[in-house]
Amino acid sequence: MTTDEPLIVLLVEDNLAHAEMVIRNFQDHQVPNKIYHVLDGEAALDFLYHRGRFSDPTTSPRPHVILLDLRLPKINGLQVLQEIKTDETLLSIPVIILTTSEAERDLTMAYQNHTNSYLVKPIDFAKFTQLINDLGLYWLSWNRQP
């Protein structure tokens, strides 16, 4: 990976305000990146499999990282995760669960379905900003991918 080629993030988030918070925090980040935002699980899978309105791979590129909310319309986050992690072609993409849910069951289920990370959205704005910064730094700078 080179620095002039932006890193691609797929953000799966049904809450538009939350999506904006993530995107705005990423924009301030020093690592060049491009965020693709979809609103539900079905759209996320369509994006990854280049189906329907995401059929063009140039406008729907393979992401380097997926930020996935759990509670989503249509197909929920856990199902999307399951789908990705059981697909040979997709399972190497790091999936980061970014959710409001602190439920034990969600955490367990996410790891059982091979999530790469599980993050709970902090209510405090400073912490939220910090989290997104650290996340970007770790997954987009430090972390190496094939």
Partner 1 sequence: MRTQFSFGWLYGVARLTMSAEITSPTNPGSWIGTGLFLLAAVLLGVLAYFLISRFINAMRKLEANVKEHEKLVSLQQAVFDAAADGILAVDHTGKITTFNRKFTEMWNIPETLITSREDAQIVAFVLQQLENPAEFLARIKALYAHPQDEGDDLIKLKDGRIFERYTQPQRLGDDIVGRVWVFRDVTAQKSTEEALARERNLLRAVVDTLPHIVFAKDSAGRKILANAGDQTAMGVKSEAEALGKTDFEIYPYEKAARFAAEDRAVLEEGVVFESESTYVDTSGQRHWLSGSKRPFRNEAGEIIGLVGVFHDITPLRQAEIEREALIADLEAKNAELERFTYTVSHDLKSPLITIRGFLGFLEQDALNGRIDQARHDIELISDAANKMQQLLDELLELSRIGRLRNPPQAVSLSELAREAAELVAGQLMARGVEVEIAPDMPTVVGDRPRLREVFENLLGNAAKFMGTQPHPRVEIGVRYDKDEPQPVIYVRDNGIGIEPQYHEKIFGLFEKLDATSEGTGIGLAIVKRIIEVHKGRIWVESEGHGRGSAFCFTLPQS
Report the helix count and the strand count for the chain, using DSSP H and E: 5, 5
In the block, residue with structure tokens 């797929």:
10
Determine if 82 is a binding residue for partner 1 (CB under 8 A): no
Which stretch in 16-24, 54-62, 81-89, 109-117 sits in contact with partner 1 by CB under 8 A? Answer: 16-24
Site mask for partner 1 (CB under 8 A), range 50-69, x = bound: --------------------
Residue 93 or 131 with smaller CB distance to partner 1: 131
- Return phi, psi of residue 115, to 5°: -70, 155
For residues 61 and 57, what is the distance between their CA atoms, to the nearest angstrom?
5
Total site size for partner 1, rule CB under 8 A: 27
Determine if 133 is a binding residue for partner 1 (CB under 8 A): no
SS3 10: strand
> How do strand 117-120 and strand 65-68 relate by DSSP bridges?
unpaired
Determine if 124 is a binding residue for partner 1 (CB under 8 A): yes
Please state the closest distance from residue 92 (CB atom) to partner 1, in A. 27
Amino acid at 74: K
Write out the residues near partner 1 by the rule CB under 8 A.
Answer: 14-18, 20-21, 24, 39-40, 71-74, 99-103, 121-126, 128-129
